[in-house]
Each structure stands twice: as structure tokens, then as C-alpha cells.
């Protein structure tokens, strides 16, 4: 057979093998997404209960001051940036990095610091000389609270020590498996911690409201970090599932196009052989 027919068959086999891989990755990402969504749902009651408790304490003891509640003149900003450890997730990582760059593009590097969760973001900011004050890489596909607690404590402590005066989360918010929206969300100071909770009756705290608030506020801020990581992980799995699904569809389209080209090449080869046979027969007459 002509060489181009063999080449086309080789390409079809190669693309078909690639399509099997992308399809498997799509299914794996879908399973991981379901697990993370379950973790998100399980963490919401805890976060809501903690916020309710903080609202009760805050309204029962309005005179209490705490560093995480204090609004200061902004001289330095902290950014907690959440990306993935690897690619193959469409624009997932690029969206977050672009959002950070839009925030810091016109600012002096001494006026902000970046806390990176995820290898892709960490590597980008370190490579381009941005100030990285802390990092967490190698998170599991379903992160645990303990896996991010160290960085969360570092961030909360840094704010309390006035190393920066406000903190923003930058990550992809999960909307649905197809849509992930990059957000820049201000988290510290915790000015809205009391929310709209309605407090009724008299609350007693042991040993006292100030001690309870001092213990709950850092835990609440750390829980917000964990909740953002879970949300970002759900977005990552959704983005990868969508990207792999699109890659599988594109591979199928390429296989169909190459199959058509293969059939045409085979027909041309058969026609050439028939012409050669007929020409040879005519020459023997």
C-alpha cells in the first residue's frame, strides 16, 4: 500500500490511544469532583455554626477588640492565591494568575506579599520575582483541614502581627462543572463576622466572652482558608473534566476526518492498481 495510507493508519491509532487516555482522565476527574463536593457540603454546617457562635459572642460583648477585627490603614496587602499542582485543566491556572497580575501590576513589590497554594502558581510567581511569603504544594485531590492548617495559621498570625493590613483570596469559584469563575475576595479583617444573625436571650461564656472570641476568630479565619481550598479543588476537577471531555471530542472528530482520508487514499490506491492491471493486459494483446 502507498506510504500515506500507512501514515494515516498510524495517526488514527495514535489519536485513538490518546482519546482513551483523555476519556479515562475525564471519568477520574468526575469522580474526584463528586468527592470534593461532598466535602464542601459536610464543611458548610461547621462553618455556619462557627459564624453563628461568633455572632452571639460579638453581640454579647461589643467592647472586645481583636487584631482580626481591626481595620487599619492599608500599607501592605496579602494575597492567598490558590492554583493547581498540574495542568491539563484548560484555563484554570491562567485565570487565577491573570487575576493576581491585574491586582498587583501597578504596585510596588514591597506593598504586597503572596501566599501560594498549588505548584503552578508558586512556580510562576517565584520565577518572575514576585514576593512569596508562604506556600503549600502537593495537596491531595480531596484536601484535609490539616493539609492547609499550617499555611492558614501562618497567614492569620502574619495579619495579627501587622505584617500586612488586609488579605484577599484569589481562586476559581466553583459555579458548575463547566463554569469556574476567578474571584478576588477580601477576607481580613473580619468586619462582617457577625453577619445578620439574630441573637435572643442571654448568653453566658466560660471562662469569658473575650477568651472565647480570641480562640474562635483564628479558627474561623483558618476554616475560611480551608473552605476556599475545597472550592478551588472542585473548580480544578470540573475544569479538568471539561478539558478532557473537549479533548476526547476533538480526538473523535480527527479520527473521523482521518478515516475519510484513509478511505479516499485506499480507493485511489485500488484505482491505480486496477489501471496498472488493465494497462498490462492491454500490452500483452
The ranges assigned to domains in the chain are: 3-21+243-280, 27-240
Q: Please tell me the CATH code under which domain 27-240 is placed.
A: 3.40.1380.10
Please give the CATH superfamily to which domain 3-21+243-280 belongs: ATP synthase, gamma subunit, helix hairpin domain (1.10.287.80)
Helix 145-160 to helix 209-284 angle, to the nearest 10 degrees? 130
The pLDDT tens digits along the chain (285 residues) read: 445 778 888 888 888 899 899 999 989 988 998 888 888 888 878 777 777 777 777 665 555 677 777 788 888 899 999 999 888 888 899 999 999 999 888 888 888 999 999 999 999 999 998 988 888 888 888 888 888 888 888 888 888 888 888 899 999 988 888 888 999 988 888 776 655 455 544 566 677 667 777 778 888 888 888 888 998 999 999 999 999 999 999 988 888 888 888 788 777 767 776 766 666 666 666
Separate counts of helices (H) and strands (E) for the chain: 5, 5
Residues 168-193: b if buried by 16+ CB within 10 A, e if exposed: bbbbbbbeebeebebbeeebbbbeeb
Amino acid at each position: 500500500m502507498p506510504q500515506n495510507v500507512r501514515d494515516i493508519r498510524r495517526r488514527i491509532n495514535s489519536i485513538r490511544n490518546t482519546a482513551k487516555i483523555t476519556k479515562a482522565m475525564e471519568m477520574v476527574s468526575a469522580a474526584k469532583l463528586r468527592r470534593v463536593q461532598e466535602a464542601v457540603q459536610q464543611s458548610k454546617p461547621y462553618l455556619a455554626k462557627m459564624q453563628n457562635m461568633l455572632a452571639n459572642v460579638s453581640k454579647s460583648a461589643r467592647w472586645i477588640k481583636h487584631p482580626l477585627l481591626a481595620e487599619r490603614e492599608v500599607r501592605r496587602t496579602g494575597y492567598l492565591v490558590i492554583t493547581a499542582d498540574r495542568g491539563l485543566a484548560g484555563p484554570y491556572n491562567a485565570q487565577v494568575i491573570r487575576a493576581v497580575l491585574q491586582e498587583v501590576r501597578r504596585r510596588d513589590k514591597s506593598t504586597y506579599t503572596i501566599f501560594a497554594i498549588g505548584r503552578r502558581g508558586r512556580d510562576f510567581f517565584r520565577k518572575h520575582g514576585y514576593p512569596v511569603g508562604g506556600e503549600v504544594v502537593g495537596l491531595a485531590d480531596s484536601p484535609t483541614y490539616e493539609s492547609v492548617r499550617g499555611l492558614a495559621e501562618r497567614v492569620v498570625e502574619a495579619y495579627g502581627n501587622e505584617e500586612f493590613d488586609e488579605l484577599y483570596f484569589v481562586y476559581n469559584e466553583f459555579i458548575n462543572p463547566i463554569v469556574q469563575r476567578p474571584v478576588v475576595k477580601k477576607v481580613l479583617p473580619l468586619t462582617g463576622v457577625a453577619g445578620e444573625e439574630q441573637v435572643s436571650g442571654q448568653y453566658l461564656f466560660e471562662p469569658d466572652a473575650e477568651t472565647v472570641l480570641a480562640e474562635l476568630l483564628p479558627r474561623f479565619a483558618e476554616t475560611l482558608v480551608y473552605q476556599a481550598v475545597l472550592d478551588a479543588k472542585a473548580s480544578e476537577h470540573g475544569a479538568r473534566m471539561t478539558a478532557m471531555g473537549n479533548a476526547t471530542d476533538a480526538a473523535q472528530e480527527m479520527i473521523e476526518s482521518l478515516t475519510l482520508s484513509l478511505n479516499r487514499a485506499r480507493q485511489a490506491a485500488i484505482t491505480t492498481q486496477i489501471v496498472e492491471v488493465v494497462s498490462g493486459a492491454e500490452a500483452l494483446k
